[in-house]
Amino acid sequence: MNSSLKKPRTSHGSTVASANYLEIFPLELLNEFRSHIPQTDLRTAVCFYCTCPQFAAAFKVGLGRQEPKFWRMSCLMSGLGRLPNEESYKIDWKGIAITSIMKDGFCDHPQCGASRLEQNVLDMRKHVLQNDDSYMVHQEEQDPGDLYTNPLLSFIGFSKHRATGYGNEDAQLLYDDNPRQGLVWGRSNTLWDHPIACRSYAIYPLIGNFIPRMGYGMSLMFNGPNNFHGITVWDVQEVLRKILDVELSKYDMIQLLEEFPVQVSEGCDAATVISKLSTMRGFLRYCKLDGIRHDSDAEFEIYPRMIYEFSEKKRIGSKCR
């Protein structure tokens, strides 16, 4: 291919086959094209909108004052929620849709990009949306006894050392490139750089709060998330991230290890093991987050109790001193 022939780009960075050619279509015809895009197909809607100004105008003409609602419902139907720094009355859902798709819509991670959007749509239809996607089940109408959690949570890891600043670079989106070797670091894997993964709802049906627990007997207390739009993947990891560097008592450490055992090779004495597992960050060097589950046996509480679960990632080796 002749490298001198470059496709023109819009202000959003997307390529266009021939912007001048698209301009010859009347606005009414472009609006007809737009009307056939399902509201659940957020990626196509964004790509259509960003192709050229004429397509963007088709949204404004065809939807009128309903355009903000269109983007809000498209994000909802695609299972994308708000982040903690976004005020509900100021949320720009169109901006969220465009940024998420342009940055992450073509991600090749099996739990992100188009794959995640498609699964989110199915989960929303199954657990949240009723009556032809026009009615959302309210929390008081839901049965808290059967909560489904997003499998994306088992692909989240944390850096070995505490991140600086706001800690947005602490959480990682892991790739399972080789099942025999388990989850490995790879590619551009900071979770914050994957808005589709960050914004995806973590719990279905949607809930706004939960009481977190790391283990049944642990005395460590910490606050749960609060997101009345629905708890997202980012909310779930943030609960854990805030306590990563809190020093664990010996009692909590024992309780954690009794529920989630860590394999120790010969040559590691107890003092060395304790020093390596003295914080949750240290613990997560040898175990990985395996998702969360609803504690259906918990006594009645205002909010459901969710247990953070972990599985072994690697054993503490013999050369651990």
DSSP output for 127-159: HTEETTTTEEPPGGGS-TTS-EE-GGGGGEEE-
Please give the DSSP secondary-structure letter assigned to residue 193.
Answer: G
178, containing H or E segment? strand 175-178
**Degrees, nearest 5: CA angle 258-252-155:** 70
167 CB contacts (<8 Å, ≥6 apart)?
241
Residue 255 pLDDT: 79
- The total number of residues shown for the chain amounts to 321
Domain ranges in the chain are 19-104, 113-132+148-312
The answer to whether the beta carbons of residues 58 and 27 sit under 8 Å apart is yes
Q: How many CB atoms lie within 10 A of CB 197?
A: 26
pLDDT by residue for the chain (321 residues), tens only, comes to 333 333 334 444 444 444 556 667 788 888 898 999 999 999 999 999 998 888 899 998 899 999 999 999 999 999 999 998 888 778 999 999 999 999 999 998 999 999 999 999 999 998 887 654 444 544 544 555 578 899 999 899 888 777 665 567 788 898 764 443 444 444 458 899 999 999 999 999 888 888 888 766 676 667 888 898 899 999 999 998 888 888 888 888 877 877 877 777 666 766 677 777 788 888 888 888 888 888 877 665 678 888 888 887 777 764 544
175-209 tens-digit pLDDT: 764 443 444 444 458 899 999 999 999 999 888 88
pTM above 0.75, yes or no: yes
